[in-house]
Chain A
Amino acid sequence: MKYKLGTLAVAAVMAASPVLADLVFPSLSYRTGPYAAGGIQFADGYADYFTLLNERDGGIGGEKIQVPECETAYNTEKGVECYESLKDSGGLVYQPLSTGITYQLIPKMTADDIPLLTSGLGRTSAKNGNVFSHIFNFPANYWDGASVAIKYLLDENGGDLKGKKVSLVYHNSAYGKEPIRTLQELSKKHGFDLTEVPVDHPGQEQKSQWLQIRREKPDYVIMYGWGVMNQVAIQEAINIRFPMENFIGIWWSGSENDVLSAGEGADGYKALTFHNVGSNFPLYDDLKKYVVDAGKASGAGDQVGSVIYNRGIYAAMLAAESAKTAQEIHGVSNITPSQMRDGMENLSMTEEKMVALGMPNFGPEFQVSCENHGGNGLVAVTQWDAKAKEWSLITDFIESDQEVIQALVDEDSQAYASENNIAPACK
C-alpha cells in the first residue's frame, strides 16, 4: 500500500512539474486579491503568447514551452515562496509584476544565477548591468516615465515649463516614490514648480489630496498609482473638473480598468506606455486562430487587446526573443537560466524584428548590453477616448532625458554596490 501511495505521489509530482526538456517560463501571477483586475490580464497575455508559440511554431527553436503559474496575490512573501517553489523547475526568467517581490528576489536570483526581467517596474537603477548582473528592466523604467512625461509637457508648451505648476500624485510606497528624485532634478533643470501629493494604500479615499489640488491649481498632474487608487483619482479629478488632457498617468495608471468606471468624464486622460495599444497587429490574427478560437486561451479571450493584456504579450515576447538569442549564442536549443541571461544581455529589438513577429511598432527599438540592462528608455503617450472606449498612441516613442537619468542610475546603483560589497564589472 505504502509503495502504491509512494508511486502515486511521484507520478503526481511528475505530472505537475514541467517536462525537464521543455523551456520553462514561470508566471508569478496574481489572479486574486485587490490588484487582481490587472494581474489577470497580464497573466493571460503572458500565457497566451507562449501558447501561440507552442501551437503555431512548436515552441522556441524546436523546444516546447511550459508556463507553470504560481499565485502571489501581489503579496511579497507569497511571491518569494512562489519563486522558491518553482526554482527547481528550471525556470529561465521570472517576471513578477510587483516591485515588492522584485526587491526581495534581486539578491536571491543573482545568487541562483537566474535572470529577472522587470519591464517598467522594480528597482530602476538595475539598469546598471555592472552592478545588477541578473536583473533587467528593458525597455523602460519609472524614471524614464517621469522624464518622458516632462518632455511631453515641454513639447506641449513650446519647450518652456518655467513657472508652470506640476503635481505628482503618487502611491505612498516604494513604487510610488520612485519618480520623486527624477522630477525634482527635472524641476530644477526646467524651472517648473513640483508639488508632491502622496496617497496612502489602497487609495480608496482621496478627498484631501484632490481638495489640495483644487486649491493649488496645478497646470499638470502626473500620477504614479496602481489598483483602486487610479480609479478613485480619475473620478476625483473629474469631480473637481481638472482638465483630463492635463492629467498623465504612468503605465500602471493607464489601462481600461482605470478609466471605464469614470465613464465619459475620463475622456482625454493620458497615460505613458512602453508598448503599443489595441489589437490591430497581424500577431493578433494568429492569436485568434491558434489560441482563442482553439479554446486554448488562458482567460475567456475577451481581454485580448486590452492594455495590460498587451503588456503580458509584450513581456512574453521579450522573454521569447531573449531565449532565441541565447539559443543562437550558445548553439543549443535547450538553454539554461544562465545562458538565458546571456541572451537577455545581447537582446536587440529592431523594427525589422517586430515586423517579422507580426508586431510592427508594438514596442520601441532598443539594444541591451552588459552595461545597460534597461535599453534606451523610450516611452510613448496614449490617450483615452471614452466614446470609443479605447486607448490610442498619440506620440512616437520618445527617448528619456539620459543626462539626468543616467547620473541618478549611477548614483543609486553605486550605493547598492557599496552596501552589498559588489565590485561593479561586466560578468
Chain B
Amino acid sequence: MNEQLAFTIEVFANGLMAGVLYALVALGFVLIYKASGIFNYAQGVMALFAAMTLVGIQNGQVPFVHLINAIFGTEIHGFGWTVPSFVAIILTVFVMIGLAWAVQRFVFRHLVGQEPIILFMATIGLAYFLEGVADLMWGSELKTLTVCATESVCLPQGMNMWLETTTYEAMGYGFFIDNLDIVASIIAALLVAGLVMFAQYTKQGRAMRAVADDHQAALSVGVSLNFIWILVWSLAGFVALVAGIMWGAKSGVQFSLSLIALKALPVLMLGGFTSIPGAIVGGLIIGVGEKMFEFLIGAPFLGGATENWFAYMLALVFLVFRPQGLFGEKIIERV
C-alpha cells in the first residue's frame, strides 16, 4: 500500500476516535441545553468532579480530609479500604444525582424565568464553586485512575496489536489505533443508544422531550419541571462521569481535566446545541477535520499545533452558514 495513503487512512481513523471523545463531553452540554435552555459552563468541571469522586471512593479517601484535620487537629488519612470500580461508579452516580438535586434546589429554582445570560452566569459561578469543592473534598494532587471490571480486566491502554498485525499482513502497513479509543467509541455508542431509548420509550424520557419542546405546554399537562431538570442534570452528570473516566484514564485525574470542555465547544457549534446525534456527528467531523488539517497542511506548512485553531475556525464557518448547527433546530421568531 502507498505509504502516504496508509498514513492518511491512519490519521482519518484516529481523527474519528478523537471525535468520539470530544462528543462524549459535548453530550452533557446538549442534554442540559435541550431540556432547559441553559448553556452549562460547568460541564467540564462536572467531569473533573465526577472523576475525582470516583478515584476518591475507589481509594477509600475521606472527603474533606485536609479540612477535617486542620479544624480538629486529627491525622486521618483514609478509610483504609479500597472499593471495586463497579461499586465506586455506582456510588459516584449517586453523588452526581445529589449534585443535580443541589444545583436545582439551591441555584436554578431561584432563577426560573430569568434571562438566558443570567442562567449562563450562574453556571460560571457553579463551575468555580464546584472546582473549589472538588479541591477541598479530594485534594489537588494528581490521581491515577484505573477502572477494572474484574481484577485482571481493566480499561486497556496502548496500541491495538491485533489491528496492527492484521493490517500489516494484509496491506503492508500496521495501523495504529489506541485500545482506549476503541473502548471509548463502544461506550459512546452504547451511551447514545441508551439515551435515545430512554427519551423514546420511557415515561420520564417522553416528559423530558416534552419539556425540551415547550416548558409551558409540558407544565399544563402535569409534567414536573423540577423533577425533569434534576433528571437532566443527573444524566449530564452521568455523561460527565463517563467523559471524566475516558479522559482521566489517559492523563490521570487532575484539575486540567476541566479544560476538556474547550474541546466540546466547536463540536456544539457545528453539531447544534439541541441534538444528540448532532453532538456525535459534530464530534466526528471536528476530530477528523482537525487531524487531517494538521497532517496535510498544519504540520508540513504552518509549523504545526493548528488543531485548536482549525476546530474553532471550522465551527465558525458552520455558524456563519448554518447558525443552528448541522442538526440544531432552526429558530424562527415572528415579528
- A: which residues have CB within 8 A of B? 31-37, 40, 172, 196-200, 202, 204-205, 207-209, 211-212, 214-215, 227-228, 231-232, 235, 238-241, 257, 260-261, 263, 265, 300, 303
A selection of 21 A-B contacts at a CB cut-off of 8 Å is A34-B258, A35-B256, A199-B305, A200-B307, A204-B247, A205-B21, A205-B263, A207-B291, A211-B10, A211-B14, A227-B254, A228-B254, A232-B251, A239-B158, A257-B252, A260-B144, A261-B142, A261-B144, A263-B157, A265-B158, A300-B66
Most chain A CB neighbours (cut-off 10 Å) among B7, B21, B66, B304: B304
In the assembly, what is the distance between CA of A207 and CA of B145, in Å?
20
- Is B11's beta carbon under 8 Å from chain A? yes
- Is B224's beta carbon under 8 Å from chain A? no
Chain A residues contacting B21 (CB-CB under 8 Å) are 205
Known contacts A196-B304, A205-B307, A238-B157; A232 and B255 CB within 8 A of each other: no
In the assembly, what is the distance between CA of A369 and CA of B109, in Å?
65
In the assembly, what is the distance between CA of A185 and CA of B299, in Å?
22
Known contacts A212-B299, A241-B159; A204 and B176 CB within 8 A of each other: no
In the assembly, what is the distance between CA of A257 and CA of B255, in Å?
13
Q: Please, which residue of chain A has its CB at the minimum distance from the CB of B135? A: A32
| Contact B295–A208 (Cβ < 8 Å) | yes
Interface residues of B in 286-308 (CB under 8 A from A): 290-291, 294-295, 298-299, 303-305, 307-308
In the assembly, what is the distance between CA of A155 and CA of B307, in Å?
37
Chain A residues contacting B145 (CB-CB under 8 Å) are 261
Known contacts A238-B158, A239-B159; A231 and B142 CB within 8 A of each other: yes
Shortest distance between the CB of A274 and any CB in chain B (Å): 22
Chain B residues contacting A231 (CB-CB under 8 Å) are 142, 250-252, 254
Interface residues of B in 184-241 (CB under 8 A from A): none
- Is B151's beta carbon under 8 Å from chain A? no
Q: Given B131, B247, B251, B305, which contacts A172 in the complex, CB threshold below 8 Å?
A: B305
| Contact B299–A260 (Cβ < 8 Å) | no
Chain A residues contacting B260 (CB-CB under 8 Å) are 204
Shortest distance between the CB of B124 and any CB in chain A (Å): 16
Chain B residues contacting A198 (CB-CB under 8 Å) are 303-305
| Contact B140–A260 (Cβ < 8 Å) | no
| Contact A208–B294 (Cβ < 8 Å) | yes
| Contact A240–B159 (Cβ < 8 Å) | yes
Known contacts A205-B18, A211-B176, A212-B299; A34 and B255 CB within 8 A of each other: yes
Shortest distance between the CB of A69 and any CB in chain B (Å): 15
| Contact A235–B304 (Cβ < 8 Å) | no
In the assembly, what is the distance between CA of A37 and CA of B142, in Å?
6
Shortest distance between the CB of A251 and any CB in chain B (Å): 17
In the assembly, what is the distance between CA of A240 and CA of B11, in Å?
14
Chain B residues contacting A227 (CB-CB under 8 Å) are 254, 256
Shortest distance between the CB of B176 and any CB in chain A (Å): 6
Chain A residues contacting B158 (CB-CB under 8 Å) are 238-239, 265
| Contact A40–B178 (Cβ < 8 Å) | no
- Is B169's beta carbon under 8 Å from chain A? no
- Is B333's beta carbon under 8 Å from chain A? no
In the assembly, what is the distance between CA of A43 and CA of B259, in Å?
24
Q: Given A34, A238, A240, which contacts B259 in the complex, CB threshold below 8 Å?
A: A34
- Is B115's beta carbon under 8 Å from chain A? no
Q: Given B14, B140, B178, which contacts A37 in the complex, CB threshold below 8 Å?
A: B140
Q: A200-B308, A204-B251, A303-B141 are in contact. List 7 more A-B contacts (CB 8 A).
A: A34-B256, A34-B258, A36-B140, A211-B7, A212-B295, A214-B176, A228-B252
Chain B residues contacting A209 (CB-CB under 8 Å) are 304
| Contact B11–A211 (Cβ < 8 Å) | yes
Chain B residues contacting A303 (CB-CB under 8 Å) are 141
Q: Please, which residue of chain B has its CB at the minimum distance from the CB of A261? A: B252
Binary CB contact string for chain B from 139 to 167 against chain A (1 if under 8 A, 0 otherwise): 01110110000000000011100000000
In the assembly, what is the distance between CA of A265 and CA of B144, in Å?
14
Most chain A CB neighbours (cut-off 10 Å) among B15, B132, B251: B251
Shortest distance between the CB of B11 and any CB in chain A (Å): 6
Q: Given B251, B255, B305, which contacts A261 in the complex, CB threshold below 8 Å?
A: B251
Shortest distance between the CB of A32 and any CB in chain B (Å): 6
Q: Given A31, A172, A260, A265, which contacts B157 in the complex, CB threshold below 8 Å?
A: A265
Shortest distance between the CB of A291 and any CB in chain B (Å): 15
Chain A residues contacting B132 (CB-CB under 8 Å) are 32
Binary CB contact string for chain B from 298 to 325 against chain A (1 if under 8 A, 0 otherwise): 1100011101100000000000000000
Chain B residues contacting A260 (CB-CB under 8 Å) are 142, 144, 252
In the assembly, what is the distance between CA of A209 and CA of B181, in Å?
16
Chain A residues contacting B257 (CB-CB under 8 Å) are 204, 228
In the assembly, what is the distance between CA of A265 and CA of B303, in Å?
30
Chain A residues contacting B144 (CB-CB under 8 Å) are 260-261, 263
Binary CB contact string for chain B from 3 to 29 against chain A (1 if under 8 A, 0 otherwise): 000010011001101100100000000
| Contact A40–B256 (Cβ < 8 Å) | no
| Contact B176–A235 (Cβ < 8 Å) | no
| Contact A33–B251 (Cβ < 8 Å) | no
Ranked nearest first, the 6 interchain pairs of A and B with the lowest CB-CB distance are A261-B252, A34-B256, A198-B305, A36-B140, A37-B142, A228-B256
